[in-house]
Amino acid sequence: MLVALTRHGAAQAATLARAWPDAHVCVAAKFADALSACGDRVRAYHGAFKDEVGALFAGYDQIVFFVSLGAVVRLIAPHLKSKDEDPGVLVIDDAGEFVIPVLSGHVGGANECALRIAEVLQAVPVLTTASDAVKTIPVDILGRELGWRVEAPKLNITRVSAHVVNGEPIAFVQEAGRLDWWTRPTPLPANIHCYDMLEEVDLDRYAAVLWVTRRPVADDLWQRLSERLVVYRPPLDPRPST
């Protein structure tokens, strides 16, 4: 959903809507003429926009605001639940120069959405998520585009993410799944040490272990590593296409 509260914002939303034919647009009725080409994708509202926010949060995965960051923070604050439930929220400044993920950057996909928008608008994506800022492994969504499923308590994910972004030594053990999981143009950070089997790892040397496997994880291993282990479950390898 693209949200425009000003005439200038409506013009920018129209530009983005042309590039995204599936995107809907929410705009003040008095500025809806700028989006006439979008047809039934336009949701024109009357009255106070704050009354629209709840329905947008419930109905859309990504909400892109063409308005100031401060205004967005105040508008969405009463509707926040958790990063597992909230949609991705992004802000584009009035000049269309910067695209800022505000909410649910990783889990909600706002960071990825920001990169796509920035390409269309020739804008600068401003990613403040720690793993993006330091160009390292995003522990909570690693391999998501490859179908990997993360298996660990939330506390583990939080603690291990901190170890990763702080540059502490991390053992990355990959026993299954596709090898093209590292998609950044920069090399893998020096604090990430790769192994083919868990048995190769001296577990006492590392602040945390990221383990990509289909093997069961023994209870005593969870206990030994405590909050230092995150496991990823890749899907079965697909059959070759014919």
C-alpha distance across the termini of the chain, in Å: 38
* Residue 142 to residue 164: CA distance in whole angstroms: 12
- Choose from 25-39, 70-84, 169-183 the range with maximum mean pLDDT: 169-183
2-128 and 144-233 share one fold: no
Confidence of residue 234 (pLDDT cuts 50, 70, 90): very high
- For the entire predicted model, the pTM comes to 0.66
Asked if pLDDT for residue 177 goes beyond 80, the answer is: yes
Asked if pLDDT for residue 242 goes beyond 50, the answer is: no
> Position of tokens 């023994």?
218
CATH 3.40.1390 fits 144-233, yes or no: yes
- What residue spans define the domains of the chain? 2-128, 144-233
* Residue 233 to residue 214: CA distance in whole angstroms: 6
For residue range 77-110, list pLDDT tens digits in order.
999 998 778 999 999 988 888 999 898 877 778 8
- Asked whether the beta carbons of 175 and 212 are under 8 A apart, the reply is yes
Kindly give the interhelix angle for 7-19 and 110-121, rounded to the nearest 10 degrees. 100
Q: What are phi and psi of 129, to 5 degrees?
A: -60, 135
Which CATH code is given to the segment(s) 2-128?
A: 3.40.50.11220
Confidence of residue 218 (pLDDT cuts 50, 70, 90): very high
> Position of tokens 């920018």?
12
For residue range 48-79, list pLDDT tens digits in order.
899 999 999 999 999 999 988 999 999 999 99
Asked if pLDDT for residue 238 goes beyond 60, the answer is: no
Distance set, CA 129 to CA 48, 192, 202 (Å): 32, 19, 30
